A = this chain, B = another copy of it.
């Protein structure tokens, strides 16, 4: 799922976050669905920092990225107040989808916590599928250092 080789692409970002008390469950570690919320935090910062276009701005331009598929592999625990590294990479997947690969590790020890990927469609404000806008693809290419000529 989460591929290696993150360093090969500039469309990569690492966000640090702490496990909130509200994210734990009675097993003492984080509740599983929180991983999808952390993936979203990673996507948000990756877009802001690497594409120079926040997801909020993207939605303001009537481009939405609904989640169509998600895969998660739980690799190790994380407890309340643990500091985590959320490493995300983005790339187009085929012509119509955006794919984020995420690896969450313990900051410090580097112990793996969760890895996974999310696939996103492009949609308008009504949720109808649209083609990825040309300006968005150019933004991706520019950020990746790829000439679009």
Interface residues of A in 62-100 (CB under 8 A from B): 64, 66-74, 77, 79-81
Binding site for B on A (CB under 8 A): 18, 20-22, 24-29, 31-37, 40-41, 44, 54-56, 59, 64, 66-74, 77, 79-81, 127
Whether B70 and A72, one on each chain, are in contact in the complex, defined by CB atoms closer than 8 angstroms, is yes
Taking the closest CB of chain B, its distance from the CB of A130, in whole angstroms, is: 14
Q: Which of B22, B54, B59, B72 contacts A37 (CB 8 A)?
A: B22
Whether A28 and B31, one on each chain, are in contact in the complex, defined by CB atoms closer than 8 angstroms, is no
Q: Specify which of A21, A59, A64 lies most central, judged by the most chain B CB atoms within 10 Å of its CB.
A: A21
| Docked CA distance A149–B70 (Å) | 40
